[in-house]
């Protein structure tokens, strides 16, 4: 029993010391066998297909009429960073579906000559709520072209699932490319969208 209270006291202490750069808790994402089985089942569901179709359709709208996209989805289109943010708190998807979609996006990126750099969870104690950030960070497998420049594919990819008080808030998918003489120009983001949600 003494060990249990010692563990609880450590949790409270780490929570008090939490800051924007120092999480109260930090651990790697490791899915259980049960979660993996459920994920494999989920991939065959209509919900997975609907999520993919929705992102794909909204991206097509964004490219023609950026102001007409669904309010639950925003697209990022900066010089070095492109992607999308799904405001899941504005939708009716379950946490299970969202978590599986988060892992599904990672799986689709891994099929494109990417490797997983890290998958982790960080929890921060905010003033009136608890923020949990789950992330998959993926990098292209190293390639060198004949002219000595590195192929960056679509750049480094970060998939972030943000929870407020254990409720899913946003999912952010971003590809950040390098504009440097050491790298070839990044592949077009529309091709990445096509490969992950089509």
The helix or strand, by DSSP H or E, that contains position 57, with its residue range, turns out to be helix 46-64
In a domain, 10, yes or no: no
Three-state DSSP state, 1: coil
Q: Please, is 14 exposed, middle or buried when counting C-beta atoms within 10 Å of its C-beta (0-12, 13-18, 19+)?
A: middle
Confidence (pTM): 0.87
Output the pLDDT for position 37: 98
pLDDT in tens, 157-168: 999 999 999 999
In a domain, 19, yes or no: no
pLDDT digits (tens, 9 = 90+) for 67-104: 999 999 999 999 999 999 999 999 999 999 999 999 99
Does some domain include residue 153?
A: yes
User: How many structural domains are present in the chain?
Assistant: 1
Range of the domain at 192: 31-197
* 33-46 burial: b if 16+ Cβ within 10 Å, else e: eeeeeebeebeeee
Would 26 be classed as within a structural domain?
Answer: no
**Are the CB atoms for 157 and 191 separated by under 8 Å?**
no
Give per-residue pLDDT as tens, 103-152: 999 999 999 999 999 999 999 988 888 999 999 999 999 887 768 888 89
In a domain, 8, yes or no: no
């Amino acid at each position: 029993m003494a060990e249990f209270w010692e563990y609880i006291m450590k949790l409270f202490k780490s929570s008090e010391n939490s800051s924007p750069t120092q999480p109260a808790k930090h651990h790697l994402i490791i899915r259980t066998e049960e979660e993996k089985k459920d994920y494999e089942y989920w991939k065959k569901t209509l919900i997975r297909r609907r999520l993919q179709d929705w992102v794909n359709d909204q991206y097509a709208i964004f490219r023609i009429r950026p102001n007409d996209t669904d309010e639950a989805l925003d697209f990022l289109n900066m010089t070095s960073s492109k992607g999308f943010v799904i405001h899941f708190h504005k939708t009716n998807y379950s946490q299970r579906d969202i978590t599986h979609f988060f892992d599904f996006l990672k799986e689709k990126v891994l099929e494109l000559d990417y490797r997983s750099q890290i998958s982790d969870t960080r929890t921060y104690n905010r003033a009136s709520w608890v923020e949990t950030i789950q992330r998959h960070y993926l990098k292209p497998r190293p390639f060198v072209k004949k002219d000595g420049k590195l192929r960056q594919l679509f750049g480094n990819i970060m998939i972030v699932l943000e929870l407020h008080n254990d409720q899913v808030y946003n999912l952010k998918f971003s590809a950040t490319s390098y504009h440097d003489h050491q790298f070839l120009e990044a592949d077009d983001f529309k091709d990445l969208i096509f490969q992950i949600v089509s």
